[in-house]
Amino acid sequence: MSGDRPVKWWPRWRPRVENDVGLSIILAIQVVVFFIVAPLAAMNLVSAQLTEGLRFGLAAVTILLVTRRTAIRWAVAAAFAVTLVATIHWHLGQTAVAIGVARGLATLGFDLVVAGIVAVATFRPGRVTVHRIMGAVIVYLYIGLIFAAIYRLLLPFLTPNFAGIPPGSRAEFSSLLYFSLGALTTGGSGDIVALHPVLRSLSSLESVIGQLFPATLLARLVSLHGTTRRQTSQEKP
């Protein structure tokens, strides 16, 4: 009887543990990209290959650990491949507006797919663990990254766009990410200002989402985690 026991519970236990650990790994990669690689890349201290390598790691973790559906795995892989090809064309000097737009759309699509997968894994029914709370933090940070990608995608088509960002500089995306996180968390960065009405509207929308997300979804997960821990402690002899 005892020899048959692992066969019954292992298939159900392993996917949940891998999903939870995968969320924490994604958060670690995301923090490195946001707060270490992005500013170093803006100062020309790291190569673009490092950024793409971290994005590959993010795609690999999402494909292998977080999602179990073959179609979604292929969607993540395809989105990353398109992003990589567009980035290679960009760095080879093919800087036409069409290439830039294709790269921006591919990157945005990749971020949306990964954020959606993480959101499903985070807010699925079941026991709320610390890893799933980390998943909610990932989704929150991804909101800032997605809005930064949208701002970058709209730059060639909106004039004037931002005050405080030198056009065409390597630090452009790092500055947009800084502005986006400022809008998401505090309502604005101060030294970078959106000038176009469309960009102002997007910034206002991001600020609203940034205020509501921690107060509703994230707080709910933390509350459920506390309830689960209390129930577990009460069940112990």
Residue 205 pLDDT grade (very low, low, confident, very high; cuts 50, 70, 90): very high
> How many structural domains is the chain composed of?
1
Instruction: Specify the pLDDT at position 8.
Output: 43
pLDDT tens for 81-109 read: 777 776 666 555 555 666 677 777 878 88
Q: At what angle do helices 130-154 and 219-235 cross, to 10 degrees?
A: 170
pTM score > 0.85 for this model?
no
214 or 228, which is more confident?
Answer: 214
Range of the domain at 18: 2-235
Instruction: Specify the pLDDT at position 6.
Output: 43
Q: What is the mean pLDDT of the chain?
A: 76
Residue 4 pLDDT greater than 50, yes or no: no
Instruction: Specify the pLDDT at position 11.
Output: 44
